[in-house]
C-alpha cells in the first residue's frame, strides 16, 4: 500500500505541471480559464505535500 502511495503522490505533480502549462498557454487568450488552471495547479501541489506528509507519518509509525 505504501509503494502505491509513493506513485500517486507524483501523479499530482504531473497534474500540476500540466495545469501550469495550460495556465501559461491560456493567459493571453482566456484569462478566466487561465485562473481556473492556476487554481488546479495550486490544489495539486497542496495535495502532493499533504499526501507526502501523511505517507511519511505512516511509514514512521509502522517501522519497528
How far is 59 from 64, CA to CA, in rounded Å? Answer: 10
Domain boundary assignment for the chain: 2-62
Q: Where are the alpha helices (DSSP H) in the chain?
A: 2-26, 31-62
- 15-29 pLDDT, tens digit each: 999 999 999 999 999
- 43-52 pLDDT, tens digit each: 999 999 999 9
What's the mean pLDDT when you consider all of the chain? Answer: 92
User: Measured in Å, how far apart are the chain's first and last C-alpha atoms?
Assistant: 17
How far is 64 from 62, CA to CA, in rounded Å? Answer: 6
The answer on pLDDT for 5 being more than 90 is no
pLDDT of residue 14: 97
pTM: 0.85
Amino acid at each position: 500500500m505504501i509503494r502505491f502511495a509513493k506513485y500517486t503522490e507524483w501523479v499530482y505533480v504531473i497534474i500540476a505541471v500540466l495545469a501550469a502549462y495550460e495556465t501559461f498557454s491560456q493567459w493571453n487568450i482566456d484569462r478566466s480559464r487561465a485562473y481556473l488552471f492556476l487554481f488546479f495547479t495550486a490544489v495539486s501541489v497542496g495535495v502532493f505535500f499533504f499526501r507526502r506528509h501523511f505517507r511519511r507519518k505512516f511509514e514512521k509509525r509502522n517501522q519497528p
